[in-house]
Homo-oligomer: A and B are copies of this chain.
């Protein structure tokens, strides 16, 4: 199981970037789950910022987006899940 961060349109990209960098160092991988355009945008900015945070450790991050169905308040929604990993 990879650690999962739920990102919303209100999430701060720099805070999410810090969490991404931490999980990459500790677990080697992290997943970000987003519902809606605003959330996808914040997650994307966070990944771009996190690339800078981990560059000094010799990592470059890449992301793989996929659709996932999630249930929220008994309704089915389609989320975007980004798998973020380092390329060495």
| Chain A: interface size category | 20 to 34
| A61–B83 CA distance with the chains assembled, in angstroms | 12
Most buried by B among A44, A45, A48, A80: A44
- Tell me the interface secondary structure of chain A in the complex: mixed
Asked whether B48 lies within 8 Å of A67 as measured between CB atoms, the reply is yes
Residues from 23 to 77 in A contacting B, C-beta threshold 8 Å: 36-38, 40-41, 44-45, 47-48, 51, 60-67
Question: For residue A67, which residues in chain B have a CB less than 8 angstroms away from its CB?
Answer: 45, 48
Q: Is the pair B61, A64 in contact by a Cβ cutoff of 8 Å?
A: yes
- Does the CB pair A64–B80 fall under 8 Å? no
**Cβ of B62 and Cβ of A47 under 8 Å apart?**
no
